[in-house]
Every structure is written in structure tokens, then in C-alpha cells.
Amino acid sequence: MKVMIVEDEMLLAMELESEVQAAGHEVVGMAVSSSQVPEIVRDSAPQFAFVDIHLQDGPTGIEVGRMLAEKGVPYIFVSGNIKKLPRDFAGALGAMEKPYTMNGMANALAYIDAVVRGEEDRLPPASLVLAEDVTYPSRAAAQ
């Protein structure tokens, strides 16, 4: 599976890259801000993407996600605060909340790989939050 990583924390991005590679996938592009994404999508045709909400040019991850959804690239959000996500998750398969565990990421990768290959009846792992699972307890208080 050709994977793109959109993450502004370099250490985390590199670690994720290693984990993706260890699971037998190829990382075809890494972006730290939203502006770098279209080029990677055009030139490297990723089959899947990890997208952080907060990037170097601000909370632009959600826009990146909508763009990927439009282009038919499946993706999940990886973020420290998934409550910032819109309720429809901007078309994402799901979200992993940071800090995730190695097991959590390995299970999520296995699930994603299966979904991208067209397996549909597989249950998502506990580490992957789906849009319908999210309750928004502090949303009112935070605004």
C-alpha cells in the first residue's frame, strides 16, 4: 500500500513512517503543511493517508482531508484532539487519537490495509475511532 503522511511533528512523522514500513507498506510522501499535499497526491498517487489536524500552516488538516475525500484517497486523522473534527469526520475512515500505542497503530494499519484492499466485513480495532463513536462532551464548554 502506498501511504502519505501529513504531520508537522517531524519526530512523530518519522516514527509513523517506520511503523508503516515495518508493516510492509511504502511511504510515498510526507507533508508538514497543507500546501505540500496536492503535489504528493498528483505525483505519487498514495492509496492511503494519515492526516494530522494541526499542521505547520494551522488547523488545515480538515481541508486536506476533504480534498483527499474528493479525490477518492482513503485516509484517517491522527490527532491529539479528535473532538475538533467535524461530525462527519470530513470523509475520513476514522481517527486515531494521539498518543497512540504501537499495538493500536499496528491494528489500525492491518484494518486499513484490509479496507483498502476491499475487505468490508472486518471490525475496526479499538484504537480506531469512527465518526459515530464520538461524543462531544466539552465542545460547548470549549467554545
Q: Which three cell numbers stand for residue 56?
A: 505547520
List the x/- string, 100-129, binding to other proteins by CB under 8 A. xxxxx-xx-----------------xxx--
In sequence order, the 6+-apart residues with CB closer than 8 A to the CB of 38 are 67
CA–CA dist 121, 119 (Å, integer): 6
Output DSSP code: residue 72: T
Site string for other proteins, 6-25 (x = CB under 8 A): ---x-xx-xx--xx------
DSSP of 125-138: PTTEEPGGG---TT
- Tracing cell 497503530 back to the chain, one arrives at 105
Chosen residue from 44, 56, 98, 115 binding other proteins by CB under 8 A = 98
Interface with other proteins: number of residues (CB under 8 A):
27
Residues 54-93 that bind other proteins (CB under 8 A): 80-81
Q: Between residues 12 and 115, which has the closer beta carbon with respect to other proteins?
A: 12
Strand order in the sheet with 2-6: 26-31, 2-6, 48-51, 75-79, 94-97, 128-129
Applying CB under 8 A, does 97 fall inside the site for other proteins? yes
44 vs 127, beta carbon nearer other proteins:
127
Which residue stretch of 34-42, 64-72, 87-95, 131-139 sits at the interface with other proteins (rule: CB under 8 A)?
131-139
Measure the CA–CA gap between 41 and 56, rounded to whole angstroms. 18
By CB under 8 A, name the binding residues for other proteins.
Answer: 9, 11-12, 14-15, 18-19, 80-81, 97-104, 106-107, 125-127, 135, 137-138, 141-142
